[in-house]
Amino acid sequence: MSFLCVSADVYERLSKPGSKPSFFNMIVTQLVSGVWHGVFAGYWMFFATTAFMFQASRVIYRYETTWPEQWRTFAPWYMFKIVMSALVLSYAGSAFMVLSY
């Protein structure tokens, strides 16, 4: 069984039929993903952090869709999002430095 199937099953089974998945679903799914990768705390920290990253990106996207089209496609805004994504992912990736903690 592939990893993606396990993650999708956990994510979908935690929500009640007819309701939208919540942040709780995401955090549990990401923690299961961390356990799936190994018993090291670095994996758990990384995957828990990515749950917060996903939730933040959803909020920012929802907010951004209220802007006029010319603001959303403004080149400096794209560059800002790229730089911020790189910084946040670098911060989250530092959890791999403590794999043997």
Question: Which two structure tokens, joined as six digits, stand for 47?
Answer: 């995957």
Instruction: Report the residue count for the chain.
Output: 101
Around 62, how many Cα atoms within 13 Å sit in the side-chain half-sphere? 6
Nearest Cα neighbor of 31 from 7, 56, 59, 14 is 7
Question: Which among 6, 7, 14, 37 is annotated as catalytic?
Answer: 37
Nearest Cα neighbor of 50 from 34, 74, 71, 72 is 34
What is the tens place of the pLDDT at every residue in 71-82? 888 999 989 999
The phi, psi pair for 73, rounded to 5°, reads -100, 15
Q: What angle (nearest 5°) sits at the alpha carbon of residue 11, between those of residues 54 and 92? A: 30
Q: Is pLDDT at 11 greater than 90 in this prediction?
A: no
Nearest Cα neighbor of 81 from 56, 99, 98, 100 is 56
Examine the residue annotation and report whether 72 is marked as an active-site residue of this protein: no
What is the tens place of the pLDDT at every residue in 39-62? 888 888 888 888 899 899 999 999
**Structure confidence at residue 7 as a pLDDT band (50, 70, 90):** low
Dist CA 101 CA 18 (whole Å) = 41
